[in-house]
Amino acid sequence: MAEKEEGAEAAPVGRKKMSGKKLVLFIILPLLLLGGAGAAAYILLFSHGDKEKQQQEATQAPGNESEDAAAVDDGKPPVYVDMDDILVNLVSTSTKGNFLKLKLALELTTPEDQDKVKSVMPRIVDQFLVYLRGLRVDDLQGSEGLQRLREELLTRARLAGKPIKIKDVLFKMVQVQ
């Protein structure tokens, strides 16, 4: 019996094989998590720049020279068209809804465009309402939020009012309740 014990002690002690559960838990799962985190980081960091590039390319497309020309000051007095007040509810997670009230004016390049703008005003208002209904209160925070809002409204007004040259969208009142 003593010989059997000595033989057992003399045999090399081998490492245990890693079980399938441990392999998945300690190797495969962390690799998948790192890969997913890397993909999410790439999408969040680099896809935003792609959207901006696409928007810039769209605004610099061949059909948009008139918009660039409309932004240039030609020395003529500007023409303004007041819009009706706009009241929309914003996207909210609280039970109490948030509302946005806007008074806007459109700046045009020529007085002849006033009647043309009034004829397409329902289309412009529709474009504004569709965009505004998707906003949250956080989207309107600070001067940067209002500047983004102005740019989006101007883009939509120009698209809805083509071929009218809309120079700018002016805020007369912005109220978030």
User: Do 131 and 152 form a contact (C-beta atoms < 8 A)?
Assistant: yes
0.75 exceeded by pTM: no
Residue with tokens 């004829």: 119
Beta bridge partners of 170: 105
pLDDT in tens, 103-147: 999 998 888 888 888 888 999 899 999 998 888 888 888 888 889
Q: Crossing angle for the helix pair 113-132 and 142-160, nearest 10 degrees?
A: 130
Residue with tokens 């999410």: 40
Q: What is the pLDDT of residue 143?
A: 86
Q: Cis bond leading into 122, ω under 30°?
A: no
User: Do 56 and 155 form a contact (C-beta atoms < 8 A)?
Assistant: no
Confidence category of residue 70, pLDDT binned at 50, 70, 90 = very low
Which residues are within 8 A (CB) of 69 and not within 5 positions of it... i.e. 6 or more apart?
165
